[in-house]
């Protein structure tokens, strides 16, 4: 890092909760924990993060091959390479090439930048460094494209802070002072292509009103903690006081709710449900953090680590078991069909659809109760199923 400069990661966490940056231990810790779409462990690079990094590397290689700047996409050193990764990176490239062709139809000079590092000065020596997955620009248009390899939650491009930082950093690529700017997130695992337009004036207004104040507060460790859905991406989430206080407020509201009848009413249950998802996630984080600490040698007052009595049995040597089974006159192997998921991973979604889709039925999932703000369509059980009278002869 150059003397006198401060670097912030392009992820949106510090923009949403400026003091989180300091609480997490600064740029290095945050960048490590939020380096890709998934994982978000306590400083370790998880298998999901590794897979995300490999998705991005393969997607960039394939794009360069399609654009004729590279001979072949390397897969030999990818630990997580499978038919699914091959197919989803193809879907990403298809969409990027579609955007390229669309721009080429109206402008002859189309430039494509793949995984180029950028540096954006936000204000007062505070910089943001990052690497946009793909930027396509002409003299009058700017497309910022981001690959999301995860399947955890749909990601929207609309007012996406990370995408807006990439766009701000790329504004000078266009000769036109007011280019048409499009932000696109491609999330093949969820068949999600989210596109949003934004004007230069809107970008600059967001920079002045939100980005610059948040950057200053981040560097000073000032500003207010802001608890929200983004907390699940925060490395400080198990030990954050603001989050714990919100959970205490939840518990206190539950305690203050007067229960009057021996059986909880619908109102009682509704009051308990509000906030229960956040509470469950917080409880899991606390338990995992405390267990990790205990495993690292910390004493947790009142608690101890134990080894469950019945650990799963496993063979110490597979070959020795095969030899022993032969002596015992039995076949130690059994043939079992791969699961639908394993077959899809092996052959990819297209062949899976062609050869296997009609051979697979899905068990009905149990409906899940979520707040009405959830974007998924509502499931309404047929009332008749509930009201149906059961005769004594019916089999239940």
Residue identified by tokens 């654009």 is 67
Query: Least distance to ligand SF4 from the beta carbon of 255, Å?
Result: 23
Q: Check: CB of residue 231 under 8 Å from CB of residue 277.
A: no
From 174, 240, 343, 347, residue interacting with ligand SF4 (rule: CB under 6 A) = 240
d(CA 95, CA 3): 41
Query: Least distance to ligand SF4 from the beta carbon of 22, Å?
Result: 9
Instruction: Please give the structure tokens belonging to residue 348.
Output: 């990819």
Site for ligand SF4 in 135-164 (CB under 6 A): none
Residue 165 or 227 having the CB closest to ligand SF4: 227
Query: Least distance to ligand SF4 from the beta carbon of 254, Å?
Result: 21
Comparing C-alpha atoms, which of 118, 52, 64 is closest to residue 88?
A: 52
Query: Least distance to ligand SF4 from the beta carbon of 368, Å?
Result: 24
Residue 148 or 243 having the CB closest to ligand SF4: 243
Q: Check: CB of residue 211 under 8 Å from CB of residue 15.
A: yes
Taking the CA atoms of residue 219, residue 223, residue 227 and residue 232 in that order, the dihedral angle to the nearest 10 degrees is 0
Using CB under 6 A as the binding rule, whether residue 242 contacts ligand SF4 is answered as yes
Residue 53 or 246 having the CB closest to ligand SF4: 246
DSSP label of 230: G
DSSP 261-280: SSS--HHHHHHHHTTHHHHH
Query: Least distance to ligand SF4 from the beta carbon of 147, Å?
Result: 24
Residue 110 or 234 having the CB closest to ligand SF4: 234
> Would you give the binding string for ligand SF4 spanning residues 17-36, x where CB under 6 A is met?
x--x--x-------------
Residue 20 or 349 having the CB closest to ligand SF4: 20
d(CA 224, CA 201): 27
From 243, 282, 347, 349, residue interacting with ligand SF4 (rule: CB under 6 A) = 243
The CA-atom distances, in angstroms, between 274 and each of 231, 248, 264, 278, 379 are 17, 14, 15, 9, 20
Site for ligand SF4 in 208-237 (CB under 6 A): 225-227, 230-231, 234, 236-237
- Which residues does residue 113 pair with via DSSP β-bridges, in sequence order? 135
Instruction: Name, in order, each residue with C-beta under 8 angstroms of 230's C-beta and a sequence gap of 6 or more.
Output: 12, 13, 16, 17
Query: Least distance to ligand SF4 from the beta carbon of 246, Å?
Result: 8
Query: Least distance to ligand SF4 from the beta carbon of 241, Å?
Result: 8
> Would you give the binding string for ligand SF4 spanning residues 175-214, x where CB under 6 A is met?
----------------------------------------
Q: Containing H/E element for 254?
A: helix 241-256
Give the distance from CA 279 to its chain's centroid: 20
Half-sphere exposure of 269 (CA within 13 A, CB side): 5
Residue 20 or 184 having the CB closest to ligand SF4: 20
Query: Least distance to ligand SF4 from the beta carbon of 271, Å?
Result: 24
CA quadruple 234, 235, 241, 245: dihedral sign: positive
Q: How many residues bind ligand SF4 (CB under 6 A)?
A: 14
Query: Least distance to ligand SF4 from the beta carbon of 129, Å?
Result: 21
Using CB under 6 A as the binding rule, whether residue 174 contacts ligand SF4 is answered as no
In the 3-class helix/strand/coil scheme, how is 351-368 assigned residue by residue?
A: HHHHHHHHHCCCCCCCCC
Instruction: Please give the structure tokens belonging to residue 225.
Output: 């903690």
Using CB under 6 A as the binding rule, whether residue 278 contacts ligand SF4 is answered as no
Residue 24 or 147 having the CB closest to ligand SF4: 24
Site for ligand SF4 in 256-275 (CB under 6 A): none
Q: Which residues bind ligand SF4 (CB under 6 A)?
A: 17, 20, 23, 225-227, 230-231, 234, 236-237, 240, 242-243
């Amino acid at each position: 890092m150059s003397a006198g400069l401060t670097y912030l990661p392009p992820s949106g966490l510090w923009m949403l909760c400026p003091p989180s940056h300091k609480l997490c231990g600064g740029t290095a810790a945050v960048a490590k924990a939020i380096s890709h779409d998934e994982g978000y462990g306590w400083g370790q690079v998880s298998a999901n993060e590794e897979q995300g990094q490999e998705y991005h590397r393969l997607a960039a290689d394939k794009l360069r091959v399609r654009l004729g700047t590279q001979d072949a996409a390397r897969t030999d050193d990818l630990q997580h390479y499978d038919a699914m990764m091959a197919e989803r990176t193809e879907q990403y490239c298809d969409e990027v090439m579609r955007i390229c062709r669309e721009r080429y139809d109206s402008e002859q000079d189309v430039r494509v930048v793949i995984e180029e590092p950028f540096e954006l000065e936000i204000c007062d020596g505070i910089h943001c460094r990052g690497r946009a997955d793909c930027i396509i620009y002409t003299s009058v248009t700017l497309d910022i494209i981001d690959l999301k390899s995860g399947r955890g939650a749909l990601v929207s491009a609309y007012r996406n802070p990370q995408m807006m930082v990439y766009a701000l950093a790329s504004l000078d690529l266009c000769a036109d002072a007011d280019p048409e700017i499009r932000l696109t997130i491609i999330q093949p695992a969820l068949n999600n292509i989210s596109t949003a337009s934004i004007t230069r004036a809107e970008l600059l207004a967001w920079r002045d009103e939100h980005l610059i104040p948040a950057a200053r507060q981040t560097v000073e460790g000032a500003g207010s903690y802001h608890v929200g859905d983004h907390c699940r991406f925060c490395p400080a989430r198990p030990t954050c006081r603001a989050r714990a206080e919100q959970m205490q407020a939840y518990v206190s509201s539950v305690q203050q709710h007067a229960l009057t009848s021996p059986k909880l009413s619908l109102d009682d249950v509704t009051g308990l449900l509000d906030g229960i998802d956040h509470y469950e996630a917080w409880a899991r984080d606390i338990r995992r953090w405390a267990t990790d600490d205990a495993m690292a040698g910390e004493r947790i007052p009142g608690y101890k680590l134990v080894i469950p009595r019945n650990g799963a049995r496993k063979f110490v040597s597979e070959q020795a078991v095969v030899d022993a089974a032969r002596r015992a006159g039995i076949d130690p192997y059994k043939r079992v069909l791969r699961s639908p998921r394993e077959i899809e991973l092996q052959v990819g979604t297209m062949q899976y659809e062609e050869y296997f889709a009609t051979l697979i039925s899905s068990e009905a999932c149990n409906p899940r109760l979520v707040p009405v703000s959830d974007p998924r369509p509502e499931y309404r059980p047929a009332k008749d199923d509930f009201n149906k009278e059961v005769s004594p002869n019916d089999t239940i």
